[in-house]
Structure formats: C-alpha cells, structure tokens
C-alpha cells in the first residue's frame, strides 16, 4: 500500500502529561483512505487533522453503517514505541465489517496504516508512567442516499489521542451494576461487532447506573436475562473457588484482545480457565459461600479493572473486601509490563513502530 504523507505547517502544542484524561486531545495528523465500489480501497494518505465535509444525506448519519477499533501505542523506557497485538484489531475489523456489509481491509494494510500514522505523530506519545497514545481506526458509509442498503463508498480514518494513566493512584476497584431491565445485544445481532449502534443502545442503562453511584453496567443475556455477558467496554472475569471463569464467546459478546491475552496468561500461570455460561444467581451463591474471590474487567483502556462491588437487584456483593486481588494485580503487571517493554515479551505480542 502506498501512503502519501502531507505534514502540517502548524504543529499543535503538546499537552501537559499530568492531565491528559482520555479521548479529549488529538494529535496533528490522521490517516484517510477511500473505498469505491469497483475500485476497492484507494488513496491512502496521512494528512493534517481536519474537519470532514460530508453531505447531510451520507448514509452513516441515518442508518449507522459504521465501525470502529481501539488500540494503543506505548513508549517504553528504552525509547521504543510498541503496539500490542495490532493484527487482532485488524482481524476484528474485518469480522465487524462482514457483519455490517462493509468491505474488508487487508490485515497488512490495516497494521501498516496504524504504524505509519503513529510514526508521523510519534512525538505525541506521552512518556509519563501509565500514559499511552490511544489509536482510533474507524470506517463510515459515505453514499449520499436515504435508502436502506449497504453503501457503495466508505471512508476509513485513524485518529490519535494521547491518553493519561487510567489509574491515578494504583488499581482502584470499581462498583458495577448488573442491568436487569435493558439489554445490550442478542445472538444473531451485532453484539460481537465493534460498532456505534451497540453503544447508542447502552447509554440509557449507563445513565441509570451512574445515577445510582455505579461506574459501569454489566449486561445480562438478551433472551433469558440470566447469564452474564460483559461490561460497557470491557469483558468480565471472575475467580470462583480457585478457577478463572469468563462468559464464553456466544455471538453477543465483543471478543476483546485483552480478554484473549488474559486467558492465555492465566493458562500460562497454571490457573484453570473456564469459558462458559455464568448466571447472576451462580455469582450470588458463590459470594454467599465465600467463593467469589475476585472479579475484574479487561479492555484496552484500563487493561485490568478490578471490581469491588457488584449490584444485582436487591443484592450488593462485596468482592475481596473491595480490594484488588492477587490475580488481577499480577495480570495487570504482566500485560502492562509487556506493553511498556519492562518485561520480556515471550508471547510475541508486541510490534515495534520504527
């Protein structure tokens, strides 16, 4: 793939690294590529970040044909810039695209585009402990047409956002609300796809959970409203009686890259891992019997997010005394150690941006 690079004449001011937050600051450049039926993906370029000019009839605005990804670039103490398993994001892009009738992007081209734009803006990768450069690839349908059909033209873009340490002072356990009214996805739907519609559908429950003092929603299955699925933007793990248990990928759960990494690392650490159905009732029983030892979410943003409190209807389960458990801490240290090049990557997960 040939990528034409045009650099900005007016570079922006680099932000204060102690106050980056998440998703609010953007770098100088972006990647863009167009799709036209009969031609395929074309005109790959890196250009100064700019506003888009789109006709109001563009299909993405009306029927939501769009997808996105999320990954990060990390600046190690050795000065090297690493990506974490970007091929997984490329493959997931195409799984999402297949479901939404968006044309595939070759895995090599996706990874090359990510590397190229990160390279151009590498001075924006923050260096303070725990910080990283969040990478947001996304595709929108651009046909100017109000009919419901797959678009014949698309735009693929990548924008970059320096992001702060997720945990300012160590891994802090969060409280999670098991949602028993709204559902996120059903088998046969788009739950496994990374697309905006899933998030639009999640907002009402999120607002409700926040109003009750919980930071995120844990979804139940959409049919029986019985089995645990996942958190807002994280997969979920439990340690029950010495075993690591996580919901199986059933078509309505997003297959997280971090989820896959956690499973592989747990197996390597000799911990038994079960991917299966887990009901909310099973959790309550385990907690009452003192066997719900740990609970944590997994996702690119927070890596590992310990859960100290789970609410389900009238039950509030306190987990590990609202403190981070040893397996959660070990997984966090191992994954972030690999990402920042502090420990040897014997899994072959990191890709250097040179």
Ligand X SMILES: *Cc1c(COP(=O)(O)O)cnc(C)c1O
Secondary structure letter of residue 251 according to DSSP:
S
**Residue span binding ligand X (CB under 6 A) among the ranges 33-41, 166-174, 230-238, 275-283:** 230-238
d(CA 112, CA 181): 43
DSSP strands (E only) in 66-204: 66-68, 71-75, 81-84, 132-141, 153-163, 174-178
d(CA 167, CA 57): 41
Residue numbers 290-319 binding ligand X by CB under 6 A: 298-300
Is there binding between residue 256 and ligand X (CB under 6 A)?
yes
Is there binding between residue 251 and ligand X (CB under 6 A)?
no
Is there binding between residue 259 and ligand X (CB under 6 A)?
yes
Interface pick for ligand X out of 159, 176, 254, 280 (rule CB under 6 A): 254
Is there binding between residue 81 and ligand X (CB under 6 A)?
no
Structure tokens at 41: 């993906």
C-beta atoms surrounding 213 within 10 Å: 10
What is the CA 59 to chain-centroid distance, rounded? 25
Instruction: Concatenate the DSSP letters of all residues of 45-73 into one string.
Output: EEEE-------TTBTHHHH--EEE--EEE
Is there binding between residue 126 and ligand X (CB under 6 A)?
no
- H or E segment and range at residue 339: helix 326-339
Is there binding between residue 229 and ligand X (CB under 6 A)?
no
At closest approach, how far in Å is the CB of 53 from ligand X? 28
Q: Can you say whether the dihedral through the CA atoms of 35, 115, 193, 65 is positive or negative?
A: negative
Structure tokens at 272: 């038994």
Residue numbers 13-52 binding ligand X by CB under 6 A: none
| Total residues binding ligand X (CB under 6 A) | 14
At closest approach, how far in Å is the CB of 97 from ligand X? 15
Q: Are strands 216-220 and 174-178 parallel, antiparallel or unpaired?
A: parallel
Is there binding between residue 234 and ligand X (CB under 6 A)?
yes
At closest approach, how far in Å is the CB of 252 from ligand X? 10
**Residue span binding ligand X (CB under 6 A) among the ranges 32-40, 112-120, 242-250, 255-263:** 255-263
Q: Which residue's CB is nearer to ligand X, number 287 or number 300?
A: 300
Is there binding between residue 218 and ligand X (CB under 6 A)?
no
Is there binding between residue 58 and ligand X (CB under 6 A)?
no
Is residue 69 within 8 A of residue 92, CB to CB? The reply is yes
Q: Which residue's CB is nearer to ligand X, number 120 or number 335?
A: 335
At closest approach, how far in Å is the CB of 235 from ligand X? 5
For ligand X, the binding residues (CB under 6 A) are 70, 194, 230, 233-235, 254, 256-259, 298-300
């Amino acid at each position: 793939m040939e990528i034409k690079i045009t650099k900005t004449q007016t570079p922006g001011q680099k932000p204060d690294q102690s106050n980056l937050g998440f998703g609010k600051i953007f770098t100088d450049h972006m990647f863009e590529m167009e799709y036209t039926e009969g031609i395929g993906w074309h005109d790959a370029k890196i250009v100064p970040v700019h506003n888009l000019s789109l006709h109001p009839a563009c299909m993405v605005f009306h029927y939501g044909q769009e997808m996105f990804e999320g990954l990060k670039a990390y600046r190690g103490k050795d000065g090297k810039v690493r990506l974490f398993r970007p091929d997984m994001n490329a493959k997931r892009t195409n799984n999402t695209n297949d479901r939404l009738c968006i044309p595939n992007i070759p895995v090599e081209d996706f990874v090359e585009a990510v590397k190229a734009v990160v390279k151009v803006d590498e001075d924006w990768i923050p260096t303070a402990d725990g910080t990283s450069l969040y990478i947001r690839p996304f595709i929108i349908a651009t046909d100017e047409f109000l009919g419901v059909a797959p678009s014949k033209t698309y735009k693929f873009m990548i924008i970059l956002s320096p992001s702060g340490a997720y945990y300012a002072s160590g891994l802090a356990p969060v409280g999670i609300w098991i949602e028993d009214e709204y559902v996120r996805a059903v088998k046969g739907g788009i739950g496994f796809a990374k697309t905006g519609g899933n998030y639009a559908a999640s907002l009402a429950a999120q607002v409700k959970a926040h109003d009750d003092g919980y930071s995120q929603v844990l979804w139940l299955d959409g049919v029986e409203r019985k089995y645990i699925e996942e958190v807002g933007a994280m997969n979920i793990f439990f340690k029950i009686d010495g075993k690591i248990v996580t919901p199986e990928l059933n078509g309505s759960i997003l297959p997280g890259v971090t989820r896959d990494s956690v499973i592989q690392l747990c197996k390597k650490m000799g911990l038994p891992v079960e991917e299966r159905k887990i009901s909310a009732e099973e959790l309550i029983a385990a907690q009452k019997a003192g066997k719900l030892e740990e609970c944590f979410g997994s996702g690119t943003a927070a890596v590992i997010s310990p859960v100290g409190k789970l609410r389900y209807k009238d039950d509030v389960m306190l987990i590990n005394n609202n403190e981070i458990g040893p397996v959660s801490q070990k997984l966090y240290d191992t994954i972030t150690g690999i990402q920042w090049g502090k420990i040897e990557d014997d899994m072959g997960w990191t890709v250097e941006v040179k």
